[in-house]
Amino acid sequence: MRVDRLDRAVAAAIAVTLVLAVFVLLRGDQVGVRIAQTQPADGAGDVGLRPVIGLTFSEQMRQTALEGRLSFSPPVTGTLRWSGNAALFTPAAPLAADTAYTLTIRAGAESARGRLTRDDVVVRFATHRPRLVYLAPATGISDLVIADVGGSGQERKLTSEPFGVYDFAVSPDGRRIAFSANRDGGGSRDLYLVGVDGNDRKRIVSCDQQHCQSPSWSADGSRIVFERRNLEKGAIGVIPGASRPYIYDINIGQASSLFTDTQYVASAPRWSTAGETLTYYDTIQSILTVFDLSAGTTVEVPSVLGDAPAWAPDGGSFLLSDLVSGNEGRLQQLLRFDYATVTLSPVMPLTNTNDYGAAWSPAGDEIVFGRQSAESFSASSGVAFYGPQVWVTGADGLNPRALTTDTEYSHAGMTWSPDGRWISLVRTNLRTINPIPEVWLIRPDGGAARSVARDATLPAWVP
């Protein structure tokens, strides 16, 4: 058989390709699998306290590849899952604020092809200082303000809304804030997003002759549930009508009604801290509904007051305050709803107090709440003679203790810092004319109480 020049060229090309393939395979085994990217990156600062730590490998890995190979200093526990070539580690509890961390991934992690990582990889990062967002001035046209409460105490305005910010919610990853703002003097109230650095402000839902407000983020940060109220003509001007829950999808940039029947009335929609569950309140039937979007199932919880519940960190239960009958009349008692067993039970025995405004500690082992003696409140006049105080109890309702005893002051809006070191609150002097609210901090043991901002309200921590 005659072999011409073209055949020889093709054969040579094939031989070169085979040699290169063998070289690449041998060289690949020598180099091993690489970690192509880490999140956060090595040397990163200002990392949030609830990060999902990502490790992207150069090829598909075995599901057991990182068992016993991840270590943190200071120690961090959590859960690991895989998404393609990426390992995603979620800490079981918020990281400590203003802290340097070192993550070490030891060599020997095996890929699906049997190749190994050859070298240890070290990732160093630092978390941000404790930061608090609130509305100020509370007595005027409010804007979003962020303060470094772990160091300098410096304040910085995040918005400059000509007609004021009404309310807001910080995203679970601490990067963005959803807020409602008055558009003009006509009453329309739109929904916006802004970065925690004050950049990238944009209107996400335009609400002509409506109030769009009370945003609440889903646990994965992909959706925002909010209430929408049509403005209706009243005796004087316009007034907000019935509330209807809507969901804004971050990924597609679109809002749609939570219900097929867009006329269904419900208020105070709130996402759970985990999973696909949210709650809303039926004002007509006085029922708080727990709605599992993934399963399409609902559970109904009777509630006279209809306050938004406080979900536990694991999303397995929530707290609400409701009216119950006692020897001294009807009182507000803290109740816990367990989602797995569908049971509602008191957190603590009924006392002659009104308990409300509960919030969970990040670890879920303690509860902060407001407590006011029923004797200090006149039902006939509606006047409070002594302000509600800050109390803390164990998650089991045992060992309740007062953190404040300043009866001339009202304490409300308690929120726990992500690292559990502080409780923020709104403190108002009841003995002054035209009282001005202040944002305060206090330790969970009642110590180191201090003022953060005067003429401010609605404090919320940056995760």
**Euclidean distance between CA atoms 67 and 78, whole angstroms:** 12
Determine which of 8-12, 85-89, 99-103, 183-187 has the lowest per-residue pLDDT on average. 8-12
Query: SS3 of 277, please?
Result: strand
Q: What percent of the chain has pLDDT over 90?
A: 74
Whole-number pLDDT of residue 235: 67
pLDDT in tens, 196-247: 999 999 999 999 999 999 999 999 999 999 999 999 887 677 788 899 999 9
**Residue 415: beta bridge partners?**
424
75: Cβ contacts below 8 Å, ≥ 6 apart: none
Average the pLDDT over 457-463 and give the result: 96
Query: SS3 of 14, please?
Result: helix
Work out the pLDDT band at 385, boundaries 50, 70, 90. Answer: low
Alpha carbon 450 to chain centroid, angstroms: 24
Whole-number pLDDT of residue 30: 57
pTM attached to this predicted model: 0.83
Single-letter residue type at 316 = G
Higher local confidence (pLDDT), 50 or 416: 416
Tell me whether strands 238-249 and 377-378 are parallel, antiparallel or unpaired: unpaired
**Euclidean distance between CA atoms 61 and 115, whole angstroms:** 9
The mean pLDDT value of the chain amounts to: 89
Q: Contact at 8 Å (CB) between 287 and 307?
A: no
For 345, the token pair is 């039970």
If you count DSSP H runs as helices and E runs as strands, how many of each does the chain have, helices first? 1, 38
Average the pLDDT over 128-135 and give the result: 93
Q: What single string gives the DSSP state of each residue in 350-398?
A: --SEEEEEEEE-TTSSEEEEEEEEGGGEETTTTEESS--EEEEEETTS-
**Cis peptide upstream of residue 40 (ω within 30 degrees of 0):** yes
Work out the pLDDT band at 376, boundaries 50, 70, 90. Answer: low
Whole-number pLDDT of residue 5: 56
Query: SS3 of 188, please?
Result: coil
Q: Which of 27-41, 88-102, 366-380 shows the highest mean pLDDT?
A: 88-102
Q: Is the pLDDT of residue 409 over 60?
A: yes
**Closest CA relative to residue 66, chosen from 104, 14, 24:** 104
Average the pLDDT over 250-263 and give the result: 91
pLDDT in tens, 171-208: 998 999 999 999 987 889 999 999 999 999 999 999 99
pLDDT in tens, 293-305: 999 999 999 999 9
**Residue 191: beta bridge partners?**
180, 205
Q: Contact at 8 Å (CB) between 408 and 432?
A: no
Q: Is the pLDDT of residue 6 over 60?
A: no
Average the pLDDT over 388-404 and give the result: 96
For 93, the token pair is 């509890």
Q: Is the pLDDT of residue 22 over 90?
A: no
Query: SS3 of 293, please?
Result: coil
